Amino acid sequence: MTDTHASVFEGLNEAQCEAVTTVDGPVLVVAGPGTGKTLTIVRRIAYLLHGGAKPDTVLAVTFTNRAAQEMRERMESLLGPESEGVFVGTFHLLGLMILREALCDGFVVYSKEEQLNVVKGLCKEGASQSRELVDSISRIKSLLETPSEEMRHVYEAYEAALRDKGAMDFDDLILRPIELLENPRFVSGYRERFRHIIVDEYQDINAAQYRLLRLLARDRAGMCGVGDPDQAIYAFRGADVGNFLRFGDDFPNGRTVALKRNYRSTGMILDGASTLIRNNGRRIEKDVQPTKGTGERIRVVCVPDERAEGRVIVSEIEHRIGGTSHYRLPRGGGRRQGADESYGFSDFAVMFRTNGQAKAIEEAFLVSGIPCRVVGSRSTGALNGSDVIGKIKAFAEAECPPDMLRSLSAGEFLEVALKKLNIAGAAGYQEIVNYINMVEGDGGVNRRAIDFLKTVSLLTNDDSFDARADAVTLMTLHMGKGLEFKVVFIVGCEEGLMPFGPAEGPADIEEERRLFYVGMTRAREELFLLSARTRFLYGNRCNRRPSPFLGEIPGRCVEERFVPDRPGKQKRKRQMELF
Amino acid sequence: MRLIADLHVHSRYSRATSRDMIPEALCRWAQLKGISVVGTGDFTHPGWLAELKEKTEPLGNGLFRLKKSLMAKDVPPSCRADVLFMLSSEISSIYSKNGKTRKVHSLILVPDFADAARINMALSRIGNLNSDGRPILGLDAKELLKIVLDISPEALLVPAHVWTPHFSVFGAMSGFDSMEECYEELSPYICAIETGLSSDPPMNWRLSALDGITLISNSDAHSPAKMGREANVFDTEASFEAMKKAIRTGEGFLGTIEFFPEEGKYHHDGHRSCVVNLSPKETARHNGLCPVCGKKVTVGVMNRVEKLADREVGFKPGNAPLFDSLVPLAEIIAETLERGVGTKAVEGEYQALLQKLGNEFTILMDTPIGDIERAGSVLVAEAISRVRSGRLHITPGYDGEYGKIKIFNGDERRTIKGQATLF
C-alpha cells in the first residue's frame, strides 16, 4: 500500500498535491494551460480510492470523448483493475447512464444528421435553415430556456416527432435526467452514490449541465471543479464562464487551488499570453510560471496576403524539417543550426479563427507536398475514392440483405447505391467504376456485389485518416483546446478576424481574447502570429489591419518580421506607372 | 535471357521532372538506351496510374507493354527492341524517430494495377498523392513497409539510393546507422538496396551488414536522356516473379551497370554555395565545418560509408556479382567535341552512332572499339576504350553538384586525332 501511495504523489508539485488531497470540502482547481490538469485529476482519483472510497462512488465528467478516453487510459495505467467501476465519461454518457438505470433501454439517440432530417420533414425547409433550427432547438435546451413565440410551434412539433419515434437528441441526455433528478426520492439515491464528483473543464459547462451537477452535488464536500476561466471558449454553445466564477458562492466553504507551474511552453510564450489575457475582466488572476527556458521570442509576421501566409508557414516548416526534397533544400545544405533536430510533421499546427481561412493554407501545403490534415471540417468538399467506398459500405450494411447482394452484380449494386446516396452523377459513377476495375481487375463490375464488398471492406476502415500518419494539423482555434504542438502558427491575426466580428466591436471581446490565449498557449517552443495586409473576403480583396490583440503582447516577447510584397508584383506595378 | 532493367524513374507528375516523361517516351528511350524492363515510376499518382492503365496492356506476367499504336516510329532499326514496363513508385517518408528527423525514400515494385490501386487507397489516407508523383508521407519507413506487405504480399520494397545524405536510410543528415534501427523486426524483409549514383558495389561491400542483400542500381531519371545511367542486369525470364526472385535471392541477378561513384552528386563532402569540395580526410581536418562559412558541411557518401564500414577498402565478397562502371555516351561525346551535353552537335553524333551501332549500352559495353572508330571518330573510340578500362579523371561531386568527367588531358585530343590521320 505504501509504495502505491507514494505513486499518487510522485512528481507532483505542491499545488498539485493540494488539489489532490483536498477532499474534505469542495475545491475549485484553477488549472492554467499546461499545468498538468489531467495528471492532477487522475492522481486525485487514486488518492480517493487509496483513502477507501469505493470506485463506483467516484464520478469524473469531462466534455469530449477524447478527453474522457485520455483520462481513462491514464487512470487505468496508474491504478489497473483497482479503478474498475469509476465513472469516467462525458456529460452525455452520464445522462445516458442515469436514463438507462431509470427507464428501460428502449430509446434511440439521434445524431445531428437525424435531427436534421426530423426538422426537414417538419417544416420543409432547406438544409441551411434546418441546420439553424436544429441549433436553435439545441440552444433552448442547453440553456434551459423556454422557446420563444416564433419557435414554439417548431419546437413542440419536433419534440412530438421525437417522442413518436422513441428517440432523444443529445441535449435530451441532459434534460431528461434533470427532470428525473428533480424528484427528491430519485435524486437521493444518486447523491448517496456519487460522493466524489470531479468536473473537468468546469469553465465550459452550460446551464443544463450546471443544473444537473447542482442536483447531484448540492453543496457536497466531495465536489471538485477543475478548469481555467481564461480558456472558456464555448459561449456560442451556451457555456457560461460565470458558473466557474460563481463556484465560491455555490459552495461557500470551498477552497480554491491554483496550478501555476506550466510544463508546456517557453517563458516568452507564457509571458506574452499571460500579459494579453490580463486585459480580460472576468477571470481569476493566476500567475502562470514557466518551468522551461525563456525560448525564442514570439514571431509576429506581417505578410502581403493570405497566400503568403501559407508560403511563410511552409518555408518555416521546411526549414525545421531540413527540406522536403532535393529541390527544396535550404541553402547551405542543412537545417537551422542549433535547432532541435527532431521534428516530424505532427509537431506543427496552423490555427485560424474561421474555417474559411483553411483553404489558402491548405493550398500552400498542396503545392509543397507536405502532408497536412484539416481537423473538423472537410475543406475541399470533394469526395475521394475512400470516402465514397465508405459510404457505399455503410449503405450495404444498412439497407441490403445478403441475398440481394448475392444476386446483384457489383455494377448493378453500385448504380442503386449511388442513386440512393445521391452521389451518383455520370462522372462520379464512372470514376468509381474505374476504381473498381483498378482494384478488381477488368470486368470487376460484373462480379457479385457481395464479393466486391468483401474486397473493399479490407481497404477502408471507419476512420478516414490513418492514425499512423504524421501530418501538419490545420484547425480552428476552438479545436485546439487540450492539444499542444512544438510549433504553432496562428494566421489571420487581423482586425475583424481576431477578434472576430465587425470593427465597431465584436459581441464578446473577452471570449475572443480567451480564444487567442488558448491558441497561443498550445505552443511548446515556438509561436508565429501572422497577419496579412490584404485578404480576399466576401468576394473582394480587402485591406486589413493587424489585430488589436497583437498590441497587447509586450514588446519584450516579440520579434517583428515584415514580408514585403512579391518583387514581381511591384515591378509590374512600376512598369504600369511608366505608361 | 539477359535483361537490362532500370526500375526507378519518374514521370512528368513528379516535381522537377521533364514534361517528356510519358509512357511513349519511356518506351522510346528504353530502346535507345538498351533497357528491356523499365520501371514506370510514380504509380501512386492517380493521373499517372490512369495514363499507364490506358496506354499499356498487361502481358500476364506482372509486366506491361506500351500499346502498339503508341509506339514511336522514329527509333532507329538498329535499336528497336521489346520494352516491358514494371509498375514502380517512390515514396518519401519524413518522420521523427529516436529523437531525430528522418527522411527515407523507398522504391516499391508491384506486379499489377490492382496492387497499385490498393496501396494508393491506403496511402491516400496518410498523405496527399496528387501533388507529387513522389509523394511525401509523414509515415515511418517501417510502417510503410508493413502497409505494403499487408496489402500486396507480392510487392517488393527497396530502400532507395541508400547513401544520399538527405533522403535515405543510411543518409548522413537524416538516416540511420543500421537497417535494424530503421526497420526493426521487419528488417529481414529488406532483401535489396539501391546503391545510388554516388556509391558503387565495392563501397557497399565494406559493410558486412549488407552481406546477403542484393545491391541494385537504377537511374532515378527525371528526364528521358538520363534513363539507364545506372541499371541492373538479370539472367531470368522477363516476368515480375522471376525478376523479384532474382533480386530477393541474387540467383539470376548478374550485376549492375554503374556510374563512376565520383560522378554522383554526393560522393564527397562540402558546401555547394561556398564551392567547398572536401574529401572525408579533409573534412576531418576541418572538424566537419566548412572552411568558408564555418557551418557544418554536407557529409557525402564516401564519408558516410567510411563511418559505417567494418571492412577495409578493397574487400570483395566471394559471391559478388559483376558490375560495369560507365559514363553516359552523350557525356563521352561532349568530352570529345568539347561541347556541352545538351548541344546539337553532341545530340547529332549520339543519334548517328546509335543508327550505325545499336543502343547505347551495346556501344558502351560490347561494340568492338574498331567498329566504333569506323562508325564515329577515333576520339570517341578512344574515349570509350578509356571508360571501359577506367582510365579517366573525375572531380568528385559534392553537396548536390555532379562530379566532372575528364577523359582527355590538354593536347591529348589533338595528338590522338593527329595519329589517326597519319595512318
Q: What cell numbers appear for A273 in the block?
A: 499570453
Question: Which one-letter DSSP state was computed for residue A144?
Answer: T
Asked if A205 contacts A61 with a C-beta cutoff of 8 angstroms, the reply is no
Q: Other C-beta atoms within 10 Å of B368: how many?
A: 10
Interchain pair B166, A323: CB under 8 A: yes
In order, the DSSP letters of B186-200 are GGGG--EEE--TT--
The number of CA neighbours under 13 Å toward the Cβ of B118 is 23
pLDDT of residue A381: 37
More confident: A513 or A452: A513
Q: pLDDT of B31-43, one tens digit each? A: 999 999 999 999 9
Q: Which residue of A has its CA nearest to B143?
A: A468
d(CA B157, CA B216) in angstroms, rounded, equals 12
Cα–Cα distance for residue pair A571/A95, rounded to 1 Å: 65
| Rounded Cα distance, A302 and A281, in Å | 29
Beta-bridged to residue B84, according to DSSP, are B37
Per-residue cell: B36: 528491356
Tell which A residues from 328 to 347 touch B, by Cβ distance under 8 Å.
Answer: 329, 331-335, 337, 341-347
What share of chain A in percent tops pLDDT 70?
Answer: 83
Question: Any residues with CB less than 8 A from the CB of A224 and at least 6 apart, and which?
Answer: A19, A22, A26, A27, A28, A29, A44, A196, A197, A198, A199
Cβ distance A371 to B103 less than 8 Å, yes or no, reads: no
Please, which pLDDT band fits residue A380 given cuts at 50, 70 and 90? Answer: very low
B132-154 per-position pLDDT tens digit: 999 999 999 999 999 999 999 99
Indicate the pLDDT class of residue A445, thresholds 50, 70 and 90.
low
What the block records as the C-alpha cell of B93 is 517518408
**Which of A318, A365, A439 best tests the B interface by mutation, with the highest count of B CBs <10 A?**
A439
- Look at residue B88 and tell me whether its pLDDT is greater than 60: yes
Task: Encode pLDDT of A160-197 as tens digits.
Answer: 999 988 888 889 999 999 999 999 988 999 999 999 99
Q: Is the pLDDT of residue A501 over 50?
A: yes
CB distance A321–B140 less than 8 Å? no
Q: Report the C-alpha gap between B235 and A44 in whole angstroms.
A: 70
Interface of A with B in 350-369 (CB under 8 A): 365-369
Q: Which three cell numbers stand for residue A541?
A: 480583396
CA distance B126 to A464: 9
Residue A435: strand, helix, or coil: helix
Q: How many angstroms separate the Cα of B35 from the Cα of each of A57, A163, B216?
A: 75, 73, 15
Q: According to the model, what pLDDT value does residue A7 have?
A: 82
Contacts of A190 (CB under 8 A, 6+ apart): A98, A181, A216
Arithmetic mean of pLDDT, A495-521: 89
Q: Are B9 and B90 in contact (CB under 8 A)?
A: no
Enumerate residues 462 to 481 of chain A having a beta carbon within 8 A of any beta carbon in chain B. Answer: 464-466, 468-471
Residue A406 has pLDDT above 60, yes or no: yes
Sequence-ordered list of residues with C-beta below 8 angstroms from that of A66, at least 6 positions apart, any chain: A482
Please tell me what DSSP assigns to residue B127.
S
Which three cell numbers mark B381? 573510340
Strand pairing partners for A474?
A350, A374
Most confident among A92-101, A401-410, B183-192, B369-378 (mean pLDDT) = B183-192
The pLDDT assigned to B416 comes to 84
CA-derived radius of gyration, chain B: 21
3-state SS, one letter per residue, for A357-419: HHHHHHHHHHHHCCCEEECCCCCCCCCCHHHHHHHHHHHHHHHCCHHHHHHCEHHHHHHHHHH
Phi/psi zone of residue B338: left (φ > 0), alpha (ψ -120 to 50 degrees), beta? left
Q: Output the furthest CA–CA distance in chain A (Å, rounded).
A: 88
CA distance B164 to B187: 20
pLDDT (tens digit per residue) in A24-35: 889 999 999 999
How does DSSP classify residue B217? -
Residues 6+ apart with CB under 8 A from A333: B271, B272, B273, B297, B298, B399, B400
Contact A233, A515 (CB under 8 A): yes
- Residues B40 and B89: their CA atoms lie apart, in Å, by 7
Q: Is A568 in a helix, a strand, or coil?
A: helix
Q: Residue A390: which pLDDT band, with cuts at 50, 70 and 90?
A: low
Query: What's the CA gap between B315 and A14, in Å, rounded?
Result: 63
Kind of pairing between the strands at B84-97 and A523-532: unpaired
**B351 in contact with A, Cβ within 8 Å:** no
Query: Which amino acid makes up residue B373?
Result: E
Residue owning grid cell 501530418: A471
In the block, residue with C-alpha cell 527525371: B222
Which A residues 441-460 touch B at CB under 8 Å? 441, 459-460
Tell which residue, B279, B259, B260, B261, has the closest CA to residue B269.
Answer: B279
Gap between the Cα atoms of A348 and A526, Å rounded: 10
Q: A451 by DSSP, 3-state: which?
A: helix
Contacts of A52 (CB under 8 A, 6+ apart): none
Residue A501, number of CB atoms within 10 A of its CB: 15
The residue ranking higher by pLDDT, B77 or A455, is B77
Cα–Cα distance between B105 and B88 in angstroms, integer? 13
How close, in Å, is residue A322 to chain B by CA atoms?
Answer: 8
Residue A72 near residue A58, CB atoms below 8 Å: no
Residue A499: cis peptide before it, omega within 30 degrees of 0 = yes
Residue A184, preceding peptide bond in cis (omega within 30° of 0): no
| Chain A nearest C-alpha distance from B297 (Å) | 8
pLDDT in the model for residue A464: 44
Longest dimension (CA), chain B: 70
CB neighbours of residue B7 within 10 Å: 26
From chain A, pick out residues whose CB is under 8 angstroms from the CB of B111: none
In 3D space, the residue among B118, B13, B36, B40 whose CA is nearest the CA of residue B83 turns out to be B36
Residue B284 has which C-alpha cell?
576531418
Q: Which phi and psi angles does B3 have, rounded to 5°?
A: -125, 140
Helix then strand then coil, % of chain B, to nearest 5:
35, 20, 40
Angle (CA) A110 A113 A115, round 5°: 50
C-alpha cell at B328: 553516359
Q: Picking from A128-142, A174-188, A319-333, B299-313, which range would have the lowest pLDDT averaged per residue?
A: A319-333
> What's A345's DSSP letter?
G
Non-local (6+) Cβ contacts of A377 within 8 A are A355, A358, A476
User: Which of chain B's residues have a Cβ under 8 Å away from the Cβ of A337?
Assistant: 295-296
Answer yes or no: is pLDDT of A392 > 80: no
Specify the pLDDT at position A328: 63
Secondary structure E strands in B195-287: 214-216, 231-235, 253-259, 269-271, 276-278
Question: What are the distances in angstroms from CA B87 to CA A502, B107, B231?
Answer: 56, 11, 16
Residue B37 near residue B63 (C-beta atoms within 8 A): yes
Mean pLDDT of chain B: 94
Contact between A424 and A389 under an 8 Å Cβ cutoff? The reply is no
Out of A334, A434, A470, closest to residue B138 by CB: A470
The minimal CB distance from B114 to the residues A367, A438, A465 is found for A438
Nearest CA in chain A to B147: A468
Confidence of residue B358 (pLDDT cuts 50, 70, 90): very high
CB of A175 within 8 A of CB of A162? no
* DSSP conformation letters of B290-326: -TTT-SBPBP-HHHHHHHH--S-TT---TTPPEEEEE
Cα of B25 to nearest chain A Cα, Å: 24
In chain B, residues 96-155 whose CB comes closer than 8 Å to chain A: 96, 99-101, 103, 112-114, 116-118, 121-122, 124-128, 130-132, 134-140, 143
- Among A residues 377-416, those touching chain B with beta carbons less than 8 Å apart: 384-386
Q: How far apart are CA A316 and CA A275, in angstroms?
A: 26
Rounded Cα distance between A433 and A439, Å, is: 10
Looking up cell 468576394 gives A539
Res A456: pLDDT: 60
* Whether the predicted model's global pTM rises above the 0.95 cut: no
Q: Is residue A176 within 8 Å of A168, Cβ to Cβ? A: yes
A522's torsion region: left (phi>0), alpha (psi -120 to 50) or beta?
alpha
List of chain A residues whose C-beta atoms are within 8 Å of the C-beta of residue B95: 344-345, 470
User: What integer pLDDT is reported at residue A463 of this predicted model?
Assistant: 36
Tell me which residue in B16, B53, B174 faces A327 most closely, judged by beta carbons: B16
Which of A113-117, B112-116, B297-301, B361-365 bottoms out in mean pLDDT, i.e. has the lowest? A113-117
pLDDT range class, residue A147, cuts 50, 70, 90: very high
Say how many Å lie between the first and final Cα of chain A, rounded: 88
